[in-house]
Amino acid sequence: MDIVYIRDLKVDTVIGIFDWERRIRQTVSLDLEMATDIRAAAASDSIDDALDYKAVGKRLISFIQESEFQLVETLSEKVAEIVLQEFAVSWLRLRLSKPGALRGSQDVGIIIERGTRPSA
């Protein structure tokens, strides 16, 4: 299986458990690896046969901008559900980080894998 990826997709959203976090928008960053078979797209050279990463990105940006979750865990699960249900993806690895969430660190976040893991 092949991997189509999106790296460092930055989206502003309401995320956090503290009152001050509920009043502002913070940036989250996503790295997404999606299992797909690219052979048909490579043969046809047509976007109709490809996993359209622009469509995936636009859908996730829209969803995340409109969301207001407390936990990155919840946001991560919802993002994974969207990708698996709405796009031709059987497995994904998602890294969702929240820069500036912990003083002294570049970022904190979560990495999840969902779906049927591709075989080597």
Residues 39-76 pLDDT 10s: 999 999 999 999 999 999 999 999 999 999 999 999 99
Rounded CA-CA distance 12/10 in Å is 7
What average pLDDT does this structure show over 80-92?
96
β 91-99/107-115 pair status:
antiparallel
Neighbours of 16 (CB within 10 A): 19
Residue positions annotated with a catalytic role = 98
In degrees rounded to 5, what are phi and psi of residue 38? -90, 0
Across the chain, what does the average pLDDT equal? 94
Q: 72-86 vs 53-66: helix axis angle to the nearest 10?
A: 140
Give residue 120's pLDDT.
60
For residue 16, pLDDT over 90 is answered with: yes
End-to-end CA distance of the chain: 7
* Per-residue pLDDT at 100: 81
pLDDT class of 107 with cuts at 50, 70, 90: confident
Tell me the pLDDT band of 103, cut-offs 50, 70 and 90: confident
The topology (CATH level 3) of 2-115 is: GTP Cyclohydrolase I, domain 2 (3.30.1130)
- How many Cβ atoms from other residues are within 10 Å of residue 73's Cβ? 13
Domain ranges of the chain: 2-115
Is 115 exposed, middle or buried, given 0-12, 13-18 or 19+ CB atoms closer than 10 A? middle
Please give the pLDDT value at position 57: 98
According to the model, what pLDDT value does residue 47 have?
95
Q: What are the φ/ψ torsions at residue 68 (nearest 5 degrees)?
A: -145, 70
